[in-house]
Chain A
Amino acid sequence: MPVVCKHSERMKKFKNKGKDAAALRRQRVEVNIELRKAKKDEQILKRRSILLRLMDESVSLGEDKSNEIELSLEEIVEAVNGSNTKLQLQATQATRRMLSRQKDPPINQIIELGIIPRLVEFLTRADNASLQFEAAWALTNIASGTSNHTKAVVEGGAIAAFISLLSSPHMHISEQSVWALGNIAGDGPLYRDALINCNVIPPLLALVSPVTPVGFLRNITWTLSNLCRNKNPYPPLDAVRKMLPVLICLLEHEDKDIISDSCWAVSYLTDGSNDRIQIVVDTGILKRLVELMASPELIVMTPALRAIGNVVTGTDEQTQAAIDAGVLAVLPHLLRHAKPTIQKEAAWTLSNIAAGPCQQIQQLITCGLLPPLVELLDKGDFKAQKEAVWAVANFTTGGTVEQVVELVHSGVLKPLLNLLLAKDSKTILVILDTISNIFLAAEKLGETERLCLLVEELDGLEKIEALQTHDNNMVYRAALNIIEKYFSGEENPDLQPGTSEDGLYDFSVEKQDFNF
């Protein structure tokens, strides 16, 4: 299904989300290139079938199924370009049907027929609702393809036509337009802003009312979320300000798909610089988001967690707002969640809270986050373990000596040292830095020797020693540093050869003027 492409594209983008934002607080360099497969989430598959069913219903509303006629491409071109309204409808319907088929919709062939401008023209045929609807549907599916496909629709002049159809007296036409606009907005920041500039937001928001059917509202929410999405550039601030109040209402809806998509929207809005985060924080929505993080529904929990995860990449105050909203009470469950991606996101969120000042670290301790963190480090999925390592690293960087002691007492060393066997250079390096941090704390307490023994007992010493032959330069140097500093006695300060005079020591000096 073409629609699915659009959704999976979206999922692909969200996979990268948190990572970029993390750089703000954690200063972590992540890549934009993915080697991984973009995962098709269950949520997306379900939504597709729902949407399909809805479509079929509206189809059956509009016409008689026995009317379906198979036409060749040539016949379609002829009919669409002709002036016979009946044939126009038949051809448009046939086109729509082809574009809706399960496998390999012939989007390219349809575009090559050059009929898009005609289809766009049909959108304006207020006299013929069926034709308007079929054209809208066909264009929706074309726009759901690749970027080039969407481009063909936009360049056919569809934006203005769809926006005016939002106010169509026929609900199914208006709904189809919402969908089409969602696909266009989802293509990227360029078309998203083109829509915003054509003033898509007011008529779209006007469709939201207490009596809007749930299915329609789902579509609207989804389109809104696409209007919030993407960076470089971000959506204009005044557009965001217009949409936010409605999104916040939608977050209170009882339908989980609507909640999910509005959460996604908020997660996109928080995925940016601190002033973007601030706009969301100011709405006072964090408490609701934290509540939704604890939802049993994966499709709700996932974007809510992501939104909160983004918020804590912000300033200390913004992070504090999330803490005040109760994020620390929910995280333990999420760190122990069965799904690795949730574990990972939760650990990522925690790592950014641990990057805060020691007061926030203290709250993290008080709220009992250390045991689940250590558990995750020990037994979690590798992706989650990596994030947990970051959390521990940040903790040891910003924590007080007492807090680091608390961390060590909670048993962090064993799983941390075990992860030195991880097949990931960066993780190893972060662990080595963390170990150095813990040693610094031990030095301040005069407990270096005890820590040395502990590290050795936990088989950490031999792992660090083995890393001295690691192929990665930074890893091997970090390992060497720890060994030299803590496990082979202090360095003798007198290693460097002295600046030799001329070899003969005659004691004499020239006087000069001194001024210190």
Chain B
Amino acid sequence: MELSDANLQTLTEYLKKTLDPDPAIRRPAEKFLESVEGSQNYPLLLLTLLEKSQENVIKVCASVTFKNYIKRNWRIVGILVEDEPNKICESDRIAIKANIVPLMLSSPEQIQKQLSDAISIIGREDFPQKWPDLLTEMVNRFQSGDFHVINGVLRTAHSLFKRYRHEFKSNELWTEIKLVLDAFALPLTNLFKATIELCSTHANDASALKVLFSSLILIAKLFYSLNFQDLPEFFEDNMETWMTNFHSLLTLDNKLLQTDDEEEAGLLELLKSQICDNAALYAQKYDEEFQPYLPRFVTAIWNLLVTTGQEVKYDLLVSNAIQFLASVCERPHYKHLFEDQNTLTSICEKVIVPNMEFRAADEEAFEDNSEEYIRRDLEGSDIDTRRRAACDLVRGLCKFFEGPVTGIFSGYVNSMLQEYAKNPSVNWKHKDAAIYLVTSLASKAQTQKHGITQANELVNLTEFFVNHIQPDLKSASVNEFPVLKADGIKYIMIFRNQVSKEQLLVSIPLLINHLQAESIVVHTYAAHALERLFTMRGTNNTTLITAAEMAPFVEVLLTNLFKALTLPGSSENEYIMKAIMRSFSLLQESIIPYIPSVITQLTQKLLAVSKNPSKPHFNHYMFESICLSIRITCKANPDAVGSFEEALFMVFTEILQNDVQEFIPYVFQVMSLLLEMHKNEIPSSYMALFPHLLQPVLWERTGNIPPLVRLLQAYLERGANTIASAAADKIPGLLGVFQKLIASKANDHQGFYLLNSIIEHMPPESVDQYRKQIFILLFQRLQNSKTTKFIKSFLVFINLYCIKYGALALQEIFDSIQPKMFGMVLEKIIIPEIQKVSGQVEKKICAVGITKILTECPPMMDTEYTKLWTPLLQALIGLFELPEDDTIPDEEHFIDIEDTPGYQTAFSQLAFAGKKEHDPVGQMVNNPRIHLAQSLHKLSTACPGRVPSMLSTSLNAEALQYLQGYLQAASVTLL
């Protein structure tokens, strides 16, 4: 491409088209631009356009296109990836680097930003080696006196240097920083001084001040980057200049820089905030050198806090400033700065208390943006808030001054409570602050699961609870002072482990009552508090609060919970749904009388949300609740399963037909649960669905695989005979699913689950014709891509097969596939790998299967396989004597959604749809060791003398000793 007017014209046309809202016009234009990216001069044409085009929109568009082009292509990956050639030729690269800085500096701000980004991308690759004059070029502009230009340089420098804040120390990095320091530190310092001078000479010129303060902010940011890795010699020598000026900027105020905006931080706030960061950096990393300056900064920052208003725009500054004090007051050698009683009192009074106050903005969030309020208040996403910073400062001060601080605050708490008592409706915010203060003072450690776990012993939590929390919650109106109600409920929730059980029991009806509150925050907190209380552990791993203790409240609890879901704003409230689930799980059979109404409400809810599933947590808990209803009811009355099917199948059908992807895995799990509840032959309604479950489209979605396998297993367990007789033509499809799963390393174990069920439940003759192919398929995987997981599953399967069809059948089918196959599998797979099998049931299957091979397979005794007999026995004894896995106690009640595997991924496993572990040999063999002893005994009776001689020749001593133990336990001897 030549640098011609014609080309400029063409490019202009295409750029214009890329802005077209119609994709039919836009896409081809984008495609075209992409296709010419590799042409020489293309970037220079763009630069020409962004400088000289008549139309502003084209200028901007060219600058954005240019930046994206640089981003995609500047880095030369061609060295590593052959088919990604270098798209920018060397002459273009040189020309870009020669022109971009002046061009950036002379461009209007909108374009300047794009070019500045482009420079930093180029800089990341080329600076400093391949762009040696960049720094000098930038530094020279400092003398220009034009602050538009200077700010452009500073912005670019910032984007080039800010990586020093996070990269690891390395020779390369430090060489670069040293180079930058040598060229940049002195000019930057001079610029800093000059800019501050100018600020005082232009103290009455608002527009000049704005530009100058923008520079100061960038300079302060550059200071942070350049000082991050280590304290450079230059800055140590010039600490006086920088710190003195930073200090005076912290105390500076100028009416012209104050903004009217209440939300957005102004330049002054941004600058001071960055200075707090700079001071905090020095205090943390260069304490030794910074010590002389630190007290001054503490005082300045503290004064800043005392004089800064409550507006939201100051939030970042205030929380940064408080965090600075919090980090300093914990240091032993600065203790003295805070220790004076007057200082402490003044910090408490003027810094902490005011920042704990409930502000208009909080009130607004409480009412209008309750979701955000809850997230911040309950889930701790309040890291940058004032309240949180104040809270951290309390904790920091408590490290050395717990007694005095608690004393000072007790006074404040009392006076705030008195204020409140005088006129609650006007002064309720005082009580809110008092509760917050008590909470932050009392809580030393906290977790989501248990609330506060360590409390300040100087605070009497129960007394405060009885005197100030309970009265609010007992008040006749649940809607009065909603903020205080929420505070009270939160207090119960977080101090649940500090308050006695009696107090908690007294609170439960109060909480249930507050489920009816109109305020979303209040009824949400009530539901959450109940849910948390129900998960508290008592003695013996039971729940602290028992179903019996809840008996008087069951009806009102369920009624209020479901009613809460009808309150405005809470129709998909996950806290309420989780509380429903937890209540069911706690109350168990006492919910049965209410099930008809409950299941109707749940079904309606399900139908409603399936139109547009948007709250994954809510949906998950809803399905968990459905599962619990089914399990609890059917446990007492198995026949009730029919009525659940009646209630649910219609909605399920709709979900399946509309392909509501989020819900399908849940539906399969609920159906599995229902099907497993049936005691007799599979109902025809299920059979009608069977062919649909084999549809490839369902199996293409990973999230469907585990629940679908589970469901097919339930079909096989309950309806194998029906499938064999009425759906024999679907057996290849069923095995096809198995093949599909076995082909994947990720899903092969699911394939084995299915195969095991087929072998275990299908009548042998129905799968006879496929058996050989099944093994060939497995051998193929074994040969081509075996993994430990595959081998483990494979071993379990062949042993299960052996148990079901006999050891001889196993040997015959192996050897029919390929001569001596059986021996090869024994020698190369079973004997060396059997120890890898994990899981009690799995080990048992393998033990019984191998016992059969040893004792019921004639070729093992009198062919060339005989040499494998003792090694196989030894491997079996090894399997027995491996340390057993500890079994996990049944704790499903306590399972949190966050703890269940795979949540938020495609597959959402329902804890309460859980399947009991199935032991296919449970009936047959109780103790596999004894079983081995007995089987060996039987074998030795059939061929006397053989067994002892095989044992004595090659079984190792340790194994022999174990074996003798088994024989003794079984009271048998070998002949």
Contact = CB atoms under 8 A, between A and B. Distances in A.
Interface of A: 29-38, 340, 379, 381-382, 421-426, 429, 446, 453, 456-458, 462, 466, 470-472, 474-475, 488-501, 503-509, 511-516
B174 A495 contact: no
Contacts of B694: 505
A496 B736 contact: no
B448 A31 contact: no
B295 interface: no
B170 interface: yes
Contacts of A458: 445
B223 to A, nearest CB: 13
Given A35-B230, A35-B231, A494 B782 contact: no
Contact of B169 (A31, A457, A499, A500): A31
A247 B671 CA distance: 86
B766 interface: no
B454 A457 contact: yes
Shortest Cβ-Cβ A-B pairs, 3 listed: A505-B736, A492-B902, A498-B744
A172 B327 CA distance: 58
B664 to A, nearest CB: 15
B305 interface: no
Interface stretch (B15-23, B283-291, B958-966): B283-291
A497 B702 contact: yes
B281 interface: yes
13 contacts: A34-B174, A38-B233, A423-B284, A425-B168, A453-B453, A494-B747, A494-B907, A503-B700, A506-B736, A507-B735, A512-B783, A514-B818, A514-B824
Interface in B223-247: 228-233, 236-237
Nearest to B445: A457
A290 B905 CA distance: 58
Interface stretch (B80-88, B433-441, B772-780): B772-780
A146 to B, nearest CB: 17
Interface string B722-765: 00000000001101111111011111001000000000000000
A457 B446 contact: yes
Interface in B760-801: 770, 773, 776-777, 779-780, 782-783
B780 A512 contact: yes
Contacts of B288: 340, 381
Contacts of A493: 746
Which of B173, B331, B332, B736 is the most central at the interface, judged by chain A CB atoms within 10 Å of its CB? B736
Contacts of B699: 505
Contact of A507 (B232, B732, B824): B732
A423 to B, nearest CB: 6
Interface in B443-466: 445-450, 453-454
B886 interface: yes
Contacts of B285: 382, 423-424
A466 B323 CA distance: 16
A208 B669 CA distance: 90
A382 B171 contact: no
Given A33-B175, A495-B905, A507-B732, A475 B166 contact: yes
B43 interface: no
B901 A491 contact: yes
B746 A494 contact: yes
Given A29-B170, A498-B744, A507-B736, 14 more contacts: A31-B173, A33-B174, A33-B175, A36-B233, A379-B332, A422-B284, A423-B165, A423-B281, A453-B447, A466-B383, A490-B901, A491-B901, A495-B906, A509-B773
A516 B825 contact: yes
Contacts of B359: none
Nearest to B750: A494
B746 to A, nearest CB: 4
Contact of A505 (B163, B231, B737): B737
A511 B739 contact: no
Contacts of B228: 423
Contacts of A37: 231, 233, 236-237
B233 A382 contact: no
A505 B740 contact: yes
Contacts of A494: 702, 705-706, 746-747, 750, 902, 907
Nearest to B281: A423
Which of B168, B737, B780, B824 is the most central at the interface, judged by chain A CB atoms within 10 Å of its CB? B168
B908 to A, nearest CB: 10
Contact of B824 (A30, A340, A516): A516
A505 B901 contact: no
A410 to B, nearest CB: 18
B170 A471 contact: no
A49 B818 CA distance: 94
Nearest to B814: A514
Interface in B824-841: 824-825, 828-829
Contacts of B899: 489
Interface of B: 163, 165-171, 173-175, 177-178, 181, 228-233, 236-237, 281, 284-288, 327, 331-332, 380, 383, 445-450, 453-454, 694, 696, 699-700, 702, 705-706, 732-733, 735-741, 743-747, 750, 770, 773, 776-777, 779-780, 782-783, 817-818, 821, 824-825, 828-829, 886, 898-903, 905-907, 909
A379 B327 CA distance: 11
Contacts of A491: 901-902
Nearest to A473: B166
Nearest to A493: B746
Contacts of A35: 174, 177-178, 181, 229-233
B167 to A, nearest CB: 7
A213 B825 CA distance: 87
A33 B181 CA distance: 13
B817 to A, nearest CB: 7
A489 B383 contact: no
Contacts of B168: 425-426, 429, 472, 474
Contacts of B739: 501, 505, 507, 509
A100 B553 CA distance: 97
A23 to B, nearest CB: 13
A341 to B, nearest CB: 9
Given A379-B332, A446-B886, A507 B770 contact: yes
Contacts of A488: 898, 903
A474 B166 CA distance: 10
Contacts of A423: 165, 228, 281, 284-285
Given A423-B228, A453-B450, A491-B902, A514 B821 contact: yes
Contacts of B900: 489
B612 to A, nearest CB: 25
Contacts of B744: 496-499
A490 B233 CA distance: 49
Contacts of B886: 446
A1 B951 CA distance: 90
Nearest to B748: A498
Contacts of B284: 382, 422-423
B281 A36 contact: no
Given A32-B171, A457-B445, A505-B739, A492 B901 contact: yes
B902 A457 contact: no
B554 to A, nearest CB: 31
Nearest to B789: A493
Given A36-B231, A495-B905, A425 B780 contact: no
A472 B454 contact: no
A498 B740 contact: yes
Contacts of A424: 285
A43 B236 CA distance: 21
A492 B904 CA distance: 10
Given A36-B233, A498-B747, A381 B702 contact: no
Contacts of B824: 514-516
A499 B744 CA distance: 5
Contact of A514 (B700, B743, B783): B783
Contacts of A425: 166-168
A456 B237 contact: no
Nearest to A381: B287
